[in-house]
Copies of this chain bind each other. A is one copy, B any other.
Amino acid sequence: MVTDENLGMKEMDITSMPSSRHHVDNLPYVHKVGVPPPHNLLKEFKATVKETFFSDDPLRPFKDQPRSRKFVLGLQTIFPIFKWGRDYNLLKLKGDIISGLTIASLCIPQDIGYAKLVKLPAENGLYSSFVPPLIYAFMGSSKDIAIGPVAVVSLLLGTLLQDEIDPIKNAEEYKRLAFTATFFAGITQAALGFFRLGFLIDFLSHAAIVGFMGGAAITIALQQLKGFLGIKNFTKKTDIISVMRAVWTAAHHGWNWQTILIGTAFLAFLLFAKYIGKRSRKLFWVPAIAPLISVILSTFFVFITRADKQGVQIVNHIKQGVNPSSVHLIYFSGDYLAKGFRIGVVAGMIALTEAIAIGRTFAGMKDYQLDGNKEMLALGTMNVVGSMTSCYVATGSFSRSAVNYMAGCQTAVSNIVMSLVVLLTLLVITPLFKYTPNAILAAIIISAVISLIDYDAALLIWKIDKLDFVACMGAFFGVVFFSVEIGLLIAVSISFAKILLQVTRPRTAMLGKLPRTHVYRNIDQYPEATKVPGALIVRVDSAIYFSNSNYVKERILRWLTDEEEQLKAQSLPRIEFLIVEMSPVTDIDTSGIHALEELYRSLKKREIQLVLANPGQAVIDKLHTSDFANLIGSDKIFLTVADAVLTCMPKISDEA
């Protein structure tokens, strides 16, 4: 039988018959395994640093440009608006105005509600929808993201802040700590972008995020029961058991039926609007403006009936005017500095994860590239500036970004439009919110966060990867039954455990020859594959590092022992060659080389030859520098398993 390799010898192709080939040229043509040229240390180091931190090659456009052009390019890099702004036209503006108005109508009631979630005055929510989106429009590279306060970050920030300060007794200090945390959230985000450490957020797996978001959505919805049922004394804890107990104890005297009536009616209306929007993509604007309509209707209703005198809680006063400066409120020293820093880092990371996930989703849908590190710098700057203008942590909102996209936004100008509408609201309309019932805000938040619970994603995760599902459920139940932090901790821990498991216990497989080919594959996956008599072919499915080198060695020896026992039982010929298919072994370190040496010695004692097939560039390089290649003999390293079988056992491979 022939291999593809000797067929390549064109001069023989026609003259000799395949099945007699070996006996003609005696030694088959075997392609040598490429030994890369000795590499330069500095060059290698540079390449590693480049792939780790500058994998997107950010300086490429700057190459070979005159200085003035470099300046313009630099400016465009930091402020992408100068790049896309030059192609801006009226048509795009039309799309941006429509989408901007739509998301503004959605964000104003949400902002007021989310501010309650952080236990900050309502105006701080509106402030956060004015300054940050403006900054982002200049610096961000996503065309579709809608910036502002979001539910999950509001909940997280509120929970973390309340652990330190009581928001009612020490309202002023609480607000100061909130700005401090926002400042450090921004600094964290900008630093990650600046130092190109954006890949760190990749360590929160998709599955963990799905679970965390779902859990947070439920927690947020539960929190809304306070406003929804008109309960005055509510628990500070967020876990489902404390909340349900609080709801229950309030049932006898604390529920307000007028509030429940208003809330239920409008929640039904909002959910119905959502349903309509889902049914027909053209009617996307129905759920988008439903919240504002609810607010207007309910406010008017309360104003007419003076239901607030019946115990229906209302928003009351929202401060009029634009964002006041809050630079002097940030703690730059003292005890609260460290606390604000810690809270800021956590909230900033979560906000970042959400924004980047949204940005990537929509960039994928419109097929443009999103620069993660640049994006982080933009988000960071916007939060730093936000913290100095009475805003709390803003980020990209899932629901509003989707509406923005469907309303036909073209560029970040839609964020500017939204921001201007919020400005107008702050300047003129805030007094009108006085009679808005809290129950409406609760209903709006409930209908908004419901879409964060992604059953389909969870189901898909269950189908694809069970361990991922454990991470997902861990995060979910952690948030629901304990707290946001615990859920987050569980999510991160399981994600890490998965990585560690991957590198400690790599897969291995026994290979067999696929009939009618010279291809060797896992005999588990291809039951038709047949073992080669006299040889055991094993594939190692991972780089061999200190964390798994011992396992790999012992696992290979176990394959061998198992196989030998079987052969003995069937009194078949013994194994003479152990062929290790190294294709998936992308790298090896000193511990790995040691393990191979030990394997070689063990095999030698058993009179079995160790043969390697297709070691990659990094591996072959290290096999040579460590002299292991000489130890086993360079002639024991082959380009393919087929070559190895052919050379070691010419007879057998002929017969096959």
Contacts and interface: CB of A to CB of B under 8 A. Distances in A.
A507 interface: yes
Contact of A584 (B202, B586, B593, B594): B586
Contact of A202 (B546, B587, B605): B546
Nearest to A6: B516
Interface in A2-24: 2-5, 7-10, 13-14, 17-19
Interface string A160-203: 00000000000000000000000000000000000000010011
A34 B519 contact: no
Interface in A561-620: 583-584, 586-587, 589-591, 593-594, 598, 601-602, 605, 614, 616-618, 620
Contacts of A369: 554, 557
Interface stretch (A97-105, A332-340, A405-413, A463-471): A463-471
A3 B518 CA distance: 9
Size category of the binding interface on chain A? 35 or more
Given A55-B555, A555-B55, A601 B367 contact: yes
Given A205-B589, A367-B601, A584-B586, A57 B8 contact: no
B589 A202 contact: no
Contacts of A527: 34
A7, A460, A598, A626 pick with most chain B CB within 10 angstroms? A7
A498 to B, nearest CB: 7
Contacts of A387: none
Contact of A617 (B56, B205, B525): B525
Interface stretch (A145-153, A262-270, A440-448, A537-545): A537-545
A464 B625 contact: yes
Contacts of A237: none
Interface string A362-398: 0011010100100000000000000000000000000
A505 interface: yes
A311 interface: no
Given A460-B590, A464-B626, 14 more contacts: A2-B4, A4-B517, A7-B18, A10-B516, A13-B18, A199-B505, A202-B504, A202-B547, A208-B546, A468-B590, A499-B499, A499-B503, A521-B639, A541-B586
Interface of A: 1-5, 7-10, 13-14, 17-19, 29, 31, 34, 36, 41, 44-45, 48, 51-52, 55-57, 199, 202-208, 360, 364-365, 367, 369, 372, 457, 460-461, 463-468, 495, 498-507, 509, 514-519, 521-522, 524-527, 541-543, 545-551, 554-555, 557-558, 583-584, 586-587, 589-591, 593-594, 598, 601-602, 605, 614, 616-618, 620, 622, 625-626, 639-640, 642
9 contacts: A1-B7, A4-B518, A8-B516, A31-B516, A204-B546, A205-B589, A207-B589, A464-B593, A521-B639
